[in-house]
């Protein structure tokens, strides 16, 4: 009897589809997104390899190294094959802004398919009006972090001047110590940097 119950449970579990569900990134501080990823870069996909039935690897030529990428020319990033399991559908020749940890990424990591443009052009021309302000702040912070030459305190404010993210970042772009993050009530965020 127990065996039949287990078989029924297994059958039901295997027949239920999975669905990827991501938190809206515009509802969290930009600095939290940046600090929670080891690698951030813009790149063009040159090759895609199937590892096994679950994973694929995309090889990128790096156009812009923002954070944590050791190679100056190419990097391989792994993702699940299925978008339903939060994998990304990559195609050769696509241009992406990638957020990854240990060279692995997925739909919920904040990656942006840039079409044939830079993040700045994406922010100004392609991003949906509802999210343009968020993407412009992301663009500003990524530029500031890319240019870091010394340890710096970063502070992110909402439109009422409430702090929504605060902490120090090392010149190697890694956060130092404890950061504070708060929910973002609106998309209007003002960025200020203090050295």
Q: Where do the structural domains in the chain lie, given as residue ranges?
A: 25-194
Task: Say which DSSP state 17 is in.
Answer: P
Q: Provide mean pLDDT across the span 26-40.
A: 91
pLDDT of residue 184: 67
**Residue 145 scores a pLDDT above 80:** yes
pLDDT of residue 13: 39
- Across all residues in the chain, what is the average pLDDT? 82
**Residue 68 scores a pLDDT above 80:** yes
Lowest mean pLDDT among 69-73, 112-116, 149-153, 187-191: 187-191
Copy the structure tokens of residue 71. Answer: 């190679």
Burial letters for 155-193: b for 16+ Cβ neighbours within 10 Å, e otherwise?
bbbbeeeeebbbbebeeebebeeebebeebeebebebee
Q: Provide mean pLDDT across the span 28-51.
A: 93
Q: How confident is residue 92, by pLDDT bands cut at 50, 70 and 90?
A: very high
Q: How confident is residue 40, by pLDDT bands cut at 50, 70 and 90?
A: very high
Q: Provide mean pLDDT across the span 10-19.
A: 44
Q: How confident is residue 18, by pLDDT bands cut at 50, 70 and 90?
A: low
Lowest mean pLDDT among 17-21, 31-35, 103-107: 17-21
| Whether the Cβ atoms of residue 112 and residue 119 lie closer than 8 Å to each other | yes
- Domain 25-194 is found in CATH 2.40.50.120: yes
**Residue 82 scores a pLDDT above 80:** yes
């Amino acid at each position: 009897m127990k065996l039949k119950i287990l078989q029924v449970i297994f059958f039901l579990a295997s027949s239920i589809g999975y669905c990827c569900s991501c938190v809206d990134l515009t509802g969290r501080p930009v600095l939290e997104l940046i600090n929670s990823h080891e690698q951030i870069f813009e790149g063009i996909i040159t090759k895609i390899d199937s590892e096994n039935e679950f994973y694929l690897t995309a090889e990128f030529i790096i156009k812009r190294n923002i954070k944590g990428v050791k190679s100056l020319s190419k990097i391989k990033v792994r993702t699940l094959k299925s978008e339903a399991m939060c994998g990304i559908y990559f195609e050769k020749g696509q241009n992406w802004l990638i957020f990854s940890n240990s060279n692995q990424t997925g739909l919920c990591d904040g990656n942006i398919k840039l079409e044939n443009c830079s993040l700045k052009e994406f922010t100004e021309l392609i991003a949906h009006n509802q999210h343009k302000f968020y993407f412009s702040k992301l663009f500003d912070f990524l530029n500031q972090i890319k240019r870091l030459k010394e340890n710096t305190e970063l502070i992110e404010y909402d439109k009422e001047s409430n702090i929504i993210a605060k902490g120090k970042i090392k010149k190697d772009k890694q956060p130092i110590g404890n950061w504070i993050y708060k929910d973002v009530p609106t998309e209007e965020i003002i960025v200020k940097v203090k050295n």
